[in-house]
Structure 1
Amino acid sequence: MTRGWCNTSWFSYLVLATAGAMFPLALAPLFWWPLGLLSGAILYWQLTSCSTARQAFVRTWWYGLGQFGAGVSWVYVSMHDHGGTPAWLAIPMVAVFAAFLATFPAAWMAARQRWFGQTLAWLTFPVFWFLHEWFRSWFMTGFPWLFVGDAHLATWLAGWAPLLGSYGLSFIVLLTVTSLSQGWRQRQPAYLLFLLLWPMGAWLQGVEWTQRSGELQVSAVQGNVPQELKWKREQIEPTIATYFGESRQLWQSDVILWPETAMTLLYDRFRPYMDALAEEAQQHNTTIITGIPYRHPPGTELAGQYHNSVVAIGNGQGMYHKQRLVPFGEYVPLENLIRGWIPFFDLEMSSFLAGDAYQPPLLVRQQNGDEESLFLLAPFICYEIAYPGLVRRNASNADLLITVSNDAWFGDSLGPKQHLALAQMRALETQRYVLRATNTGITALINSDGEIVERLPFEQVATLTASAEMRQGMTPYMIWGLWPLYLLSAIILLVARRQQRTQALTAVPSN
């Protein structure tokens, strides 16, 4: 028998695209996570009727088109509202971007069909989805966004994040979907034993893998400089006045954090302002950390090259250059060919150089009478906080994570809300506090359980002040990384391959 509407291609594709578009509702800001289960179930059900790799590719691509088309629709705001791209061009550009991203899960699901067919599909489907998310997190600088596990910041599965990271949560979610489906199809309740992973996660939420090592009074300044004014020459002095004025009311704090490129002057031109403020901050035992563009000085090997950076001044020290650059925002792929086509390809400061892979953390001093404590802060600029592997590595020697961003590019869209949730997931994976400063929002302090302690209202000049725990120690995820998932995946694929060969051998006599 055939499967009715499954054989009506366009209707099937429409259902898949709709299921994909449903998926972002499971993420921030709504966190309707059951829709994520339903969305994954529809894709899995459709893939179980595939007989060729091409069918698996096409069906998954339509699902991905809906998933990314809805999930990254906020890119339109940066293109149209701030990048000068007309709507008639920005909309198809977003569609092309979504269509390109959809090829990643499509290719991996096609490979699954090609190599394993429907053999142990209920196990190979979660494996290949995990591998697709892992691949997408680094290929062509990576786009670690819209992961299945990111929907489960506040469910029982959150307890698995310090052990397996968000990738592990994705694996468990999809294993939940496939084991339920398999149990129903086979009428075998034994498959439901995998649901025990959920209450196990609830129990794991009570485990503290890291230890408190101190406390800092931290503040963050949200300058709320409109994006259309931010890089104008006449806005330089008002911006400096805003950040200096707000910070001078926060000298009781040990750390004051400003957003990404809070200062639009180059580092060398900002030095006269910075030195005066650093001396004042040091008198109050305060460290100020700001985002600022850095230019290598004349006479050096990289003279004239730019970095998107953060620098600590006052009672702290250190500088960090951003490693993971945003395509078209901070560098232009095939620059010589496409610059000048449209204004979006010629945005301010879109020729940055990537920083080194291994850079020391920022150092902050805390003065308590005659006693001085030293703490290390791991900085992340913009969407670097979305990279699980990068954060895991740099958090190892840090007491606190800080992230600075300028989400004004995306207005009050899904983008800034998803970005905040990714910072929460990184806090949960590393059991570290995260202090986040943005230009227009969402500025927040996140605790080691991934919960928001304090946050500022959107698009307002405001300051946040709270106590942040310093944490030391390593979560299992920080120690092992993805090796447990690699090992589990290898075992599943080996078992599937062996069963596939056994089935092929038993089929020969019957033929």
Structure 2
Amino acid sequence: MFTRAALPSWIAILGGAVFPFALAPFFYWPLGLISLAALFFSLQHSATTGAAFKRAWLFGFAQFGLGVSWIYVSMHNHGGTPVWLAVPAVGLFAGFLALIPATWFALRQKLSSQSLAVFSFAAYWFLQEWGRSWFLTGFPWLYAGDAHLSTVLAGWAPITGAYGISFILALTAAAIVVVAQTRNWAYLIPLLLWPAGDALRNLNWTHNIGTMTVGVVQGNVEQNRKWLNEEIFPTIDRYQEDTRSLFGNDLILWPETAITLLYQRYQPYMELFAEELQAHNSTVITGIPFRWPRGTELEGEYHNSIIAFGDGEGVYHKQRLVPFGEYIPLESAIRGLIPFFDLPMSSFRAGDPEQDLLKVTVHSGEQNDLALIAPYICYEIAYPDLVLQTARNADLLVTISNDAWFGDSLGPKQHMALAQMRALETGRWVLRSTNTGISALVNHHGDIIQRIPVGERTGFSAVAERRTGETLYMRTGLTPLLILAFGLIGLAALIRGKRHG
């Protein structure tokens, strides 16, 4: 089993296993380079398409098996799935996700083999991350670039996004392997992208147009009791009570489904509390389930939603739903098989892509202003493309979640880091509220200004900047990277064809 022939496969597995430690909460970013170098080396020693597929799959299986192991917490601790079923279910999920890099790198082997190896590796690494962002609604998690919130490469985020940083990392890792093998120092030229990133950190892509006062309430409601009927009104009382100490802030943010009543049933209580909020010049933005009433075209359909009330207004319905959490693929066939698939509020409808931003009145002396707020629910903040689209006209980004599903595991820490990366990419401040943590305020450099750790019932008040303008990444999106990547793989395929022609 530990033969010389098996060595590349074992290197691929070990490379995938260390990958998550480059990301939050560890941020041992050199391990990301080591991980990618291990994958590149194992692919160098893959003579066939099948071998490349196998080794990339082994890498991905180890990467996702450890990196998203927090899914076990939601399935077992909160979803009622027994250990003997939850563990293999996480393994199946990791194995399925691993098919994506396996397919892309098998294609690389078939089309170009080792032609332009360093550049084609970087191109295919970026493309497999990009493909994972949209395939079957997408899972934009565990990107290599997300490890570099605070390194010199952070300067590239407003230009290329986390995807571009991933490209630079793959290019660097592959180049280092080739230099170690050949002593051809010319391959170290890509390392110049690192000091360039440091210089780019000094650029300001957006500018301050004013400030607003913000507050966050972290209710810390026990997940296993959250949806019980007897907890509905005590939870409402909890959030309203904790909010009164934050009155006077322009915006006060509650978590995803902070209110477990349907929007229509909560309205009478909301209107009463809205009077208090208006008297103190405050707006609450909260998550709440929404059901279309009788007589409407979508009668009976549910949304996972956000509403603004008090001294502001707006409704937003979540667009990117979580498979098996908020909707069930092939629902009629698999509902009832596993208790996890029958959890409350697990059959939502996706919101329309064209939705208005939320509006919050900002009070400054005798003059009032209107702030436009871009909202994101749960892992919507993980989608760079979605955030780029709605952030353009927004003064501030808010994201709400209920990470109580995952306890104090890796999941909430990784999720927090994704919100920080979106702030860095868009040049906007991000306000985040979750049921059990991590709740935080993040500035436009991706730095956490204030935070509440996991497991505390508390809140905070702070001052956030409202910013306008567009980063280069917001203007161009992924178009330049896609052109570069497909150009490189086309050139590599052409060179290989001429060699074998």
How does the TM-score come out when normalised to structure 2? 0.98
Q: CA deviation at 1:5?
A: 6.8
What does 1:400-411 correspond to in 2, within 5 Å?
400-411=396-407
Which of residues 139, 155, 160 is equivalent to 2:151?
A: 155
Equivalent residue number for residue 466 of structure 1:
462
Identify which of 495, 501, 508 aligns with 2:497: 501
Q: CA–CA distance in 2 between the matches of 1:139 and 1:213?
A: 38
Give the match for residue 509 of structure 1.
Answer: none
Equivalent runs, 1:244-393 vs 2, <5 Å: 244-393=240-389
Q: Does 295-304 or 277-286 show the bigger shift?
A: 277-286
Distance in 1 separating the partners of 2:119 and 2:54: 21
SS of 1:18's equivalent in the other structure is: helix
Question: Counterpart of 1:8?
Answer: 5
Structure 1 counterpart of 2:5, one-letter code: T
Cα distance per residue 1:388-437 (max 9 Å; x no partner): 10001110110100000000000000000000000000000001000000
| 2:42 is the alignment partner of 1:37 | no
Question: Given residue 294 of structure 1, which amino acid in structure 2 is its aligned partner?
Answer: F
Q: 2:198 and 2:106 mapped to 1: Cα distance?
A: 35
Cα offset, 1:500, TM superposition:
2.0
1:416 aligns with 2:412: yes
Task: Kindly tell me the number of residue pairs found equivalent between the two proteins.
Answer: 501
1:242 paired residue number: 238
**Cα separation, 1, equivalents of 2:491 and 2:137:** 33
Kept in 1: contact 2:9–2:42 (CA 8 A): no
Query: Which residue is equivalent to 2:188?
Result: 192
Matches of residues 91-170 of structure 1 in structure 2 within 5 Å? 91-170=87-166
Most deviating of 395-404 and 13-22: 13-22
Secondary structure in structure 2 of the residue aligned to 1:117 = coil
Per the alignment, residue 229 of structure 2 pairs with 233
CA distance in 2, matches of 1:112, 1:5: 27
- The corresponding residue for 1:84 is 80
Structure 2: gaps spanning 5 or more residues: none
Instruction: Give 1:102 shift.
Output: 0.4
Rounded to whole Å, the distance in 1 between the matches of 2:37 and 2:186 is: 19
Letter of the 1:127 counterpart: A
Distance in 1 separating the partners of 2:64 and 2:362: 44
CA distance in 2, matches of 1:493, 1:341: 43
Q: Are the equivalent residues in 2 in contact too, given 1:5–1:12 (CA < 8 A)?
A: no
Q: Within 1, Cα distance between the matches of 2:3 and 2:326?
A: 44
User: Is 467-476 or 365-374 further displaced after alignment?
Assistant: 365-374
2: CA distance between counterparts of 1:396 and 1:221?
27
Point out the more displaced range, 308-317 or 481-490. Answer: 481-490
C-alpha displacement of 1:371: 1.4
CA distance in structure 1 between the aligned counterparts of 2:247 and 2:29, rounded to whole angstroms: 42
In the TM superposition, what is the alpha-carbon distance from 1:155 to its structure 2 partner? Answer: 0.7
**How far apart are 1:6 and its partner, in Å?**
7.2
Instruction: Supply the distance in 1 between the matched residues of 2:3 and 2:497 (Cα, whole angstroms).
Output: 29
Q: Equivalences for 1:175-190 in 2 at 5 Å?
A: 175-190=171-186
Residues 6-35 of structure 1: CA deviation (Å, up to 9, x unaligned): 7433x5433322221110000000100111
Q: Equivalents in 2 of 1:61, 1:77: separation in Å?
A: 24
- Structure 1 CA distance, aligned partners of 2:379 and 2:453? 21
Give the deviation of 1:266 after TM superposition.
Answer: 0.3
* SS of residue paired to 1:228: coil
2:203 maps to 207
User: Any gaps of 5 or more consecutive residues in structure 1?
Assistant: 506-511
Distance 1:250 1:202 in 2: 39
Change (3 A) 1:450 1:6: farther
Alpha-carbon displacement from aligned partner over 1:194-242 (angstroms, at most 9, x marks no partner): 1110010011111000010110110010000000010001101110111
Q: Secondary structure at the match of 1:178?
A: helix
Q: Are the aligned partners of 1:6 and 1:46 in contact in 2 as well (CA < 8 Å)?
A: no
Q: How does 1:426-437 map to 2 (within 5 A)?
A: 426-437=422-433
Structure 1 vs Structure 2: percent identity of aligned residues? 56
In structure 2, what is the Cα distance between the partners aligned to 1:6 and 1:210? 55
Find the aligned partners of 2:34 and 2:275 in 1 and give their Cα distance.
Answer: 57
Q: Is the 8 A contact 1:126 1:174 kept in 2?
A: yes
Q: Distance in 1 between matches of 2:486 and 2:341?
A: 42
Structure 2 equivalent of residue 26 of structure 1: 22
CA drift at 1:279: 1.5
TM-score, with length taken from structure 1: 0.96
Does the aligned pair in 2 maintain the 1:291–1:309 contact within 8 Å?
yes
| 2:135 partner amino acid | F
Cα deviation digits, residues 308-361 of structure 1 (max 9, x gap): 000000111100000011111111111101111121110000011000012111
**Given the superposition, is the C-alpha separation of residues 6 and 500 from structure 1 closer, same or farther in structure 2, using an over 3 Å criterion?**
farther
